Chains A and B, each alone.
Chain A
Amino acid sequence: MAHEHTADNHTHDDHAHGPAHGWRRWVYATNHKDIGTMYLIFACVMFFVGGFMAMIIRAELFQPGLQIVEPQFFNSMTTMHALVMIFGAVMPAWTGLANWMIPMQVGAPDMALPRLNNFSFWLLPFAFTLLLGTLFTPSGAPAGGWTLYPPLSLQGGDSFPMAIFAIHLMGASSILGSINVVVTIMNMRAPGVGLLNMPLFCWSWLITAYLLIATMPVLAGAVTMLLTDHFFATSFFSASGGGDPVMFQHIFWFFGHPEVYILILPAFGIISEIIPTFSRKPLFGYDAMVYATAAIAFLSFIVWAHHMFTVGMPLAGQLFFTLSTMMISIPTGVKVFNWTATLWKGSLSFETPMLFALSFLFLFTIGGFSGLMLAIVPADFQYHDTYFVVAHFHYVLVPGAIFAIMAGVYYWLPKWTGRMYDEKLGKWHFWLSTIFVNVLFFPQHFLGLAGMPRRIPDYSVQFADWNMVSSLGAFGFGLSQLLLPYIIWKCVKGGVKSTGRVWEGAHGLEWELSSPPPYHSWDPPPSRELVARGVQH
């Protein structure tokens, strides 16, 4: 039975009123659900902006030769697509899901620092206005790749300081959001919600938040030094002044590799929620999942140089970074094994969230395998800067991170809105996405192995066929994503009313609340009996 909230549960101090009306509700928002909704809408908008840039890239690559855009603009598109998708779509989507779910899952009335939460969100529209504004500068948007390697990035003209400032704002937003997550989980858990029985989504976000706090300042430091090299005549990365451009690569990837796990660890948490629900079994090896997540996070700090084998490094360095990278497959393998073991002999049903979760399981593993190939130095020398790398990280990030976000949205949408989405349309969305994502990215493995370099607007005719297939997949994938906002709109406007538990096999405190949940979720905190019922492990 859903937890009932009555007005006399609250005092004025607890802000036991409903939401403000009109624009004030959103601009001055301190409620975790409102802020979560804003994050998710922002992420969705950025997903389509970044997706549109991807369509331009794939349209240009549909045939060899230059057809649609100038090479400089093409390079801007590859750079901006990455920045928008990483910092504008995937990371805000995770923060949105964290805002919505963490207080409900740990039995807290809200995030620990609601005003800071508001500030974290509202930094983002300013950051992305600045970043997208670079498209309208005379020099054009940044075109040196999202890695901003000097000396190329220093030649960026007017757009350079705008992009650097935007990155600082995004970083500040992420750090403040992460502080809020850590502080909420460590201080706001209801009686009975212990660290080793809270949902794995909270665990994966807790570890992600620590990663963000440790690595985003490193990126901020790197781009600050780029800025001083450009405007204040320092020579951190300028060889002519005694600096070292390779040092930038080391610093960037010390941030960049944990960033990959920042994008994927919350996905592991969501998949660990969904698979047990639709298998109607407890998760296999909860403790092992927690330790595996922590192990992946730790290892992510000692593998960065596998991104830069080709700059040259001592043999000991190559061996160290190869082996440490391969070691990541051990805790990741534990996770894949445990998800599979959870499915084993389960009473499975295949609603849309489960379909996306299963697709994640297969396709993310393909991305993991190609990552192992890239960890081998002599092989990496061949694959580096080819489409094989593009295929690898897109398998990790699209059917990995983005499919997990889709799974999470379908899983919790009935809880958020109190209404069911159209299951038939959800399945259409799933099948179209899964088919087209493979048509889009699988041929890129072949292109890379055949030697096609990444970040080029034109290519040799030998690559024409697979590029055409890949572009057709991209158009299909892009178009099929239009279903998502339509399904959400249809659900909000006229979906069938859902129950509090929504999914028969669901466990966790959020399912003990009504659908939609009250404005202040757990105020007063849930009773120990309710917690015991909600806890699944």
Chain B
Amino acid sequence: MNVSDQNAPEEQRRRVRRSAILLGMVALSFYVAFIVMSVMRS
């Protein structure tokens, strides 16, 4: 998706915020998942 598709800067900001939070959640879930997996195993 590039800038031409995002007429309003506000929409772009929302998109940026949303994808940043989503990626942060993905990173956090990898962190938690590996610890939980190790708890289950040990």
Interface flags, B13-42, vs A, CB<8A=1, else 0: 001100110011011101110110011011
Q: Which residues of A contact B26 (CB under 8 A)?
A: 213-214
Find out whether the CB atom of B42 lies under 8 angstroms from the CB atom of A221: no
Rounded to whole angstroms, the CA-CA distance of A216 and B37 in the bound complex is: 16
Which parts of A305-329 form the interface with B (CB within 8 Å)?
A: none
**A151 within 8 Å of B by Cβ?**
no
Question: Chain A residues near B15 (CB, 8 Å)?
Answer: 187
Interface centre among B3, B19, B20, B31 (most CB of A within 10 A): B3
Report the separation of the CA atoms of residues A191 and B1 in the bound assembly, to the nearest whole angstrom. Answer: 9
Nearest-CB residue, chain B, relative to A229: B42
Verify A217–B31 contact, CB threshold 8 A.
yes
- A112 contacts B30, C-beta separation under 8 Å: no
In the complex, what distance in Å separates the CA atom of A179 from the CA atom of B26?
10
**Contact A244:B20 (CB < 8 A) given known A187-B15, A194-B2, A218-B31:** no
Q: How distant is the Cα of A234 from the Cα of B38 in the complex, in angstroms?
A: 11
Residue contact B19 to A221, C-beta cutoff 8 Å: no
Is the CB–CB distance between B1 and A187 below 8 Å? yes
Chain B interface, number of residues (Cβ within 8 angstroms): 24
- B6 CB contacts on chain A under 8 angstroms: 187
Residue pair A244, B42 in contact (C-beta under 8 Å):
yes
Chain A, residues 208-223, CB within 8 Å of chain B (1/0): the string is 0000011111101110
Min CB distance B9 to A, Å, is: 9
**A216 partner residues in chain B, CB cutoff 8 A:** 27
Q: Given the known A-B contacts A221-B31, A242-B42, are A187 and B12 also in contact in the complex, defined by CB atoms under 8 Å?
A: yes
The one of B4, B12, B31, B38 that contacts A247, using a Cβ cutoff of 8 Å: B38
A290 at the interface (CB under 8 A from B): no
Contact with B along A358-376 (1 / 0, CB 8 A): 0000000000000000000
A183-B20, A214-B30, A221-B31 as given contacts; A190 in contact with B3, CB under 8 Å = yes
Cα separation A224 to B34 with both chains bound (whole Å): 11
A398 CB within 8 Å of chain B: no
A508 to B35, CA, bound (A): 44
Contact (Cβ within 8 A) A187 B35:
no
Contacts of B38 in A (CB 8 A): 221, 225, 236, 247, 251
A: number of interface residues (CB 8 Å)? 39
Binding site of A, secondary structure by majority: helix, strand, loop or mixed? helix
Residues of A near B20 (CB, < 8 A) are 112-113, 116, 179-180, 183
Nearest A residue to B30 via CB reads A217
Contact with B along A173-209 (1 / 0, CB 8 A): 0010011101100111111111000000000000000
Inter-chain contact B42/A217, CB cutoff 8 Å: no
For B5, give the chain A residue with the smallest CB separation.
A191
User: What residues of B have a CB within 8 angstroms of the CB of A285 in the complex?
Assistant: none
Q: Which residues on A sit within 8 Å (CB–CB) of B24?
A: 175, 179
Q: In the complex the two chains form, what is the Cα distance from A183 to B26 in whole Å?
A: 14
Q: Is A243 close to B, CB under 8 A? A: yes
A-B contact count (CB 8 A): 86
Contact B34 A183 (CB under 8 A): no
Q: How distant is the Cα of A244 from the Cα of B37 in the complex, in angstroms?
A: 13
Cα(A185)–Cα(B33), bound, Å: 28
- Closest A residue to B29 by beta carbon equals A217
> Are A190 and B2 touching (Cβ within 8 A)?
yes
- Chain A residue with minimal CB distance to B12? A187
Contact check, A217 vs B28: say whether CB atoms are below 8 A apart.
Answer: yes
- The answer, yes or no, to whether A235 is at the interface (CB within 8 Å) is yes
Chain A residues contacting B27 (CB-CB under 8 Å) are: 175, 179, 213-214, 216-217
Distance, CA A515 to CA B17, complexed state (A): 32
A248, closest chain B residue (CB): B38
| Inter-chain contact A213/B23, CB cutoff 8 Å | yes
Of listed B1, B19, B31, residue having the most chain A CB within 10 A: B31
A293-307: CB near B (< 8 Å → 1, else 0) gives: 000000000000000
Partner of A221, one of B16, B35, B41: B35
Task: Tell me if A225 and B3 are in contact (CB < 8 A).
Answer: no
Q: A193-B2, A225-B35, A236-B38 are in contact. Are A183 and B16 (CB under 8 A)?
A: yes
**A525 sits at the interface (CB 8 A):** yes
- When C-beta atoms are compared, the residue in chain A nearest to B32 turns out to be A221
A242 and B6 CA atoms in complex are apart in Å by 55
Please state if B12 and A244 are interface contacts (CB–CB under 8 Å). no
Given contacts A182-B23, A214-B27, 11 further A-B contacts (CB under 8 A): A107-B3, A116-B20, A178-B23, A179-B24, A186-B1, A188-B3, A189-B2, A192-B4, A221-B34, A247-B38, A247-B41
| A-B contact list, 23 entries, CB within 8 Å | A180-B20, A182-B19, A182-B23, A183-B16, A187-B1, A187-B16, A188-B12, A188-B16, A189-B2, A190-B2, A191-B2, A192-B2, A194-B2, A213-B26, A213-B27, A214-B26, A218-B31, A224-B31, A225-B35, A235-B42, A236-B38, A236-B39, A247-B38
Taking Cβ atoms with an 8 Å cutoff, the residues of B that contact A are 1-4, 6, 12, 15-16, 19-20, 23-24, 26-28, 30-32, 34-35, 38-39, 41-42
Interfacial residues, chain A to chain B (CB-CB below 8 A)? 107, 112-113, 116, 175, 178-180, 182-183, 186-194, 213-218, 220-222, 224-225, 234-236, 242-244, 247, 251, 525
- Top 3 nearest A-B pairs (CB, nearest first) are A191-B4, A217-B31, A221-B34
